[in-house]
Amino acid sequence: MRITIQLKIASVCLLVLLARVCIATPVIYVNQVAFDSRGAKMAVIRNDERLSLGTKFTLLDVAGKVSFTGMLKGPQQIEQWVKGAFFYQADFSALVKPGIYKISINIKGKQYLSDAFNVSGNALAITTLPSIIGYYNHQRANTPAELAADKQMQLFGSDKTVDLHGGWCDASGDVSKYFSHLAYANYMSPQQIPLVTWSMVNAVQNIPATLNNLGMYDKTVDEALYGADYMMRALSKEGYFYMIVFSYFNKDPKARRVVGLKANSVTTNEYQCAFREGGGMAIAALARISQLKKDGDFKSTEYLAAAKRAYAHLAVHNTEYDDDGKENIIDDYCALMAATELWIATDSVYYQQQARARAQNIEKRISPEGYFYANDSGRPYWHASDAGMPVVALSRYLSKEKNEADRAAGLSTIKKALDYNLRVTAEVSNPFGYARQTFRLGDKVQDGFFIPHENETGWWWQGENARLGSLATAVIVGGRLVYPAKSGWGVNKALSVYASNQLSWILGCNPYSVCFMYQFGKNNVPYMSSNFGHGSGKGGISNGITGAKDHADGSGIDYRTEDNGNEWRWTEQWLPHAAWFLQAITAMSEQEQ
């Protein structure tokens, strides 16, 4: 999505990063930030020679004392990533004692140590949540230049202007503001500003004790209201939301326009949001925030009234705004979120019926294998940022649904989806436990680690850290419904391990040892600057690792900090990554309330 970006190149260049995947000495890959005491915990050891059977690892505390000893599990090999290397898993989930630790292994008489990490109760939320909210505050489009221009924002192809000040800049290299983008591709629309707002309200409602203990309750409410106020301004008199304020990557704020967006920054007047283009999640966020009974620039009753009006409009006009004129699974799960939040807020039979209909649509889209179909003709649903949303939406719906038959159908679908995610991830050698997925390339349906680079957009692919956060969220909130357990985060061990692996990958347990949450861990991506003084912010999460650049099917592995202006695919911070990470740590923290 990015065209021009400015990077301050870090001292660790691409060649050094790639060398980490091709070195002869043992490497210990670990989450460089924190593990929750009650959750699963794992590190990965790579060696270019097979280790002796029964090789052990130990955890050392800050005094150098052995706190835990375990046996390495493996080896595994993943030839499409690193040829000839052997990977081993060090599982220390049984360690619950709070402390700062390093992993130690001895190979041929020499000791090797990991980076330090924290283990403590509710560690992920306590350690990262204040910075995540701070990151969004940093992303506010509130400089004098932006505010002045956005209060008189011109509609593409028209002399009409609207007041669209506020909102968050989309990424560290893009100061545009999106409800969603990639609408023209139909199956890949991500949820952006509305998802962020909903995620914050979700935290406020579900983990108030954690937020209060961190002194973050009021700050999180304030940031969520800021997002809600922008969505209120973006709601047109006709009843649809304006989708995008696009900067054209121009330093002149007056160049900005309200647009629809196609490939290669081609803009149109198709700026009306369908359910799948941010409209559904905006309705859901406004309906949910109304229940806080807090006023921002608008009253809480106005938030709910706006959600009702927008829903009524899309109930009639949605397919007019869908680029292909057809609804798909993204419409279904976004509309389900909208109807569910309105049902919760109003207890209306109408929204109950709407939610049930959308839930049934999603349930009908589950394949025999357990992945979802995106359309009515067998295209597998895969998504670079919102892959967990069908399960999250169904789980939220089931928090209100009491009818036994409807609950049974929803629970069955969630179980099939979670079983599939565990199965497809474990079907190949996968030492990091990275979430795999099913997609169609040409006429072939296949499984892989990363999204295919050849897809309906014609050009867009990037790191998938938001997808990992969304799936971690899904297996916890969905798992509590179908695989409940008293231990861990309220789910069984397999789901706890799966969720932990996805967040650990983001925080440094990956083949490049990069912590993608900025200013956390030991190794970060380079700083990225942007217009109006915006750029990388602490707590923001970069796109992450992809399949090899020249592989249409997304096979292989790649991470680059320099690529002739395309570095954004790996290094750019993006709103959905931190939003899904926030949802995941909220779900994990709920058991602590």
Decide if pLDDT at 15 tops 50: no
Q: How confident is the model at residue 488 (pLDDT cuts 50, 70, 90)?
A: confident
pLDDT tier, 593 (very low <50, low <70, confident <90, very high otherwise): low
Which of these, 43, 23, 154, 152, lies nearest to 103 by C-alpha position? 43
- Cα(105)–Cα(45) distance, integer angstroms: 9
Distance CA 263, CA 244 (A): 14
Provide φ and ψ at 572, rounded to 5°.
-75, 135
The span from the CA of 570 to the CA of 548, in Å, is: 12
Integer Cα distance of 101 and 465 in angstroms: 25
Q: Are 216 and 285 in contact (CB under 8 A)?
A: no
* Spatial separation of the C-alpha atoms in residues 126 and 211, rounded to whole Å: 9
Q: Sign (positive/negative) of CA torsion 190, 146, 581, 361?
A: negative
The confidence score (pLDDT) of residue 88 equals: 98
Mean pLDDT of 106-134: 96
Q: Is the pLDDT of residue 154 over 50?
A: yes
Q: Model confidence over 531-573: pLDDT tens digits? A: 998 999 999 999 999 999 999 999 999 999 999 999 999 999 9
Hey, what amino acid is at 5?
A: I
Outline which parts of the chain fall under CATH 2.60.40.10.
24-120
Look at the domain 24-120 and name its fold: Immunoglobulin-like (2.60.40)
Q: Round to whole Å and give the CA distance between 138 and 196.
A: 14
The one-character DSSP state at 213 is H
Delimit the CATH 1.50.10.10 region(s) of the chain: 123-592
* Beta-carbon count within 10 A of 10 CB: 15
pLDDT of residue 432: 98
Packed helices 404-426 and 349-364: angle between N→C axes, nearest 10 degrees: 40
Rounded CA separation 66/553 (Å): 45
Whether the ω angle into residue 208 lies within 30 degrees of 0, i.e. cis, is no
Mean pLDDT along residues 238-259: 96
- Identify which of 25, 229, 126 has the alpha carbon closest to the alpha carbon of residue 520: 126
Can you read off the two tokens belonging to residue 281? Answer: 């999640």
Q: Hey, is 305 helix, strand or coil?
A: helix
pLDDT at 461 over 50: yes
Q: pLDDT band for position 119 (50/70/90)? A: very high
pLDDT at 5: 37
- Given CA atoms 125, 304, 390, 403 in this order, what sign does their dihedral have? positive
Instruction: Report CA 245 to chain centroid distance, whole Å.
Output: 22
CA dist., res. 518 & res. 9, Å (int): 15
pLDDT at 9: 37
Mean pLDDT of 505-509: 98
Region 184-204: mean pLDDT is 98
Res. 20: pLDDT tops 70: no
Q: What is the pTM of this model?
A: 0.95
What's the whole-number mean pLDDT along residues 413-441? Answer: 98
Work out the percent of the chain whose per-residue pLDDT is above 90.
94
Number of helices (H) and strands (E) in the chain: give both, helices first: 17, 20
User: What whole-number distance in Å separates Cα of residue 173 and Cα of residue 575?
Assistant: 11
Give the model's pLDDT for residue 6.
Answer: 38
Q: Is residue 10 predicted with pLDDT exceeding 80?
A: no
pLDDT higher than threshold 80 for residue 4: no
Question: What confidence tier does 93 reach under pLDDT thresholds 50, 70, 90?
Answer: very high
Copy the structure tokens of residue 383: 């998504």
In the predicted model, what is the mean pLDDT of residues 154-177?
97
Q: Which residue type, as a one-letter code, is found at position 300?
A: S
pLDDT at residue 13 tops 60: no
Q: 10 Å Cβ neighbour count for 405?
A: 8
Are 182 and 454 contacting, i.e. CB atoms less than 8 angstroms apart? Answer: no
pLDDT at 320: 98
C-alpha 291/C-alpha 578 separation (Å) is 24
Is the distance from CB of 339 to CB of 315 less than 8 angstroms?
no
Question: Over the stretch 76-91, which tens digit does the pLDDT of each residue have?
Answer: 999 999 999 999 999 9
> Chain-wide mean pLDDT for the chain?
95
The Cα 109–Cα 16 span in angstroms is 27
Average pLDDT over residues 94-108: 96
Please give the angle made by the CA atoms of 2, 6 and 573, to the nearest 5 degrees. Answer: 55
Residue 301: exposed, middle, or buried by beta-carbon count in 10 A (0-12, 13-18, 19+)? exposed
pLDDT (average), residues 433-453: 97
Query: 150 phi and psi, to 5 degrees?
Result: -75, -15
Question: How far is Cα 354 from Cα 340, in angstroms, rounded to an integer?
Answer: 8
Amino acid sitting at position 137: N
Q: Would you say domain 123-592 falls under CATH 3.10.20.740?
A: no
Q: Is the peptide bond before 380 cis (omega within 30 degrees of 0)?
A: no
By the 8 A CB rule, do 351 and 338 touch?
no
Q: Comparing C-alpha atoms, which of 423, 431, 429, 496 is closest to residue 94?
A: 496
CA angle 199–201–203, rounded 5-degree value:
70
Token readout for 431 is 């030492």
Query: 417 is written with which tokens?
Result: 């989806």
Quickly state the pLDDT bin for 592 (edges 50, 70, 90).
low
